[in-house]
Amino acid sequence: MKERITLEILSAGQPRAYANNIYRGIFTIEWHGMDGYKNKDAPFVPRDVCEGVVKSCYARMLHGFSENPEWHEARIVKMNKIGEGVWEVEIKQPYLD
């Protein structure tokens, strides 16, 4: 069974000087499904996963964040499920001089 995680980066970094860093991306998580055990050429289909899996992938692939952030740490601002296996995530890192 294979799993494919695709990340489309919408924004990464500061939009202007002295602004907070914004990291936005759309995750698409797909797998071969149960057919992948028997047929290695089975097509990828969307995989519905929980919020924890998406957070883990996002922290590793785009930008880390804290679950209980202090004022200076990155935090999740928005996390929306767009469709089956598709999530939009936005993290904000405060500007630090």
Residues 6 or more apart whose Cβ sits within 8 Å of residue 24:
9, 10, 11, 12, 88, 89, 90, 91
Q: Which domain holds residue 54?
A: 3-93
The token pair at 84 is 């089956």
Q: How many domains does the chain have?
A: 1
pLDDT at 18 over 70: yes
SS3 51: helix
pLDDT at 36 over 60: no
pLDDT at 59 over 80: no
pLDDT of residue 10: 92
Share of the chain above pLDDT 90, in %: 12
Mean pLDDT for all residues in the chain: 81
Q: What is the mean pLDDT of residues 70-81?
A: 84
Global confidence as pTM: 0.76
Q: What is the mean pLDDT of residues 47-67?
A: 75
**How many Å apart are CA 93 and CA 63, to the nearest integer?**
9
Closest CA to 64 of 93, 30, 97, 39: 93
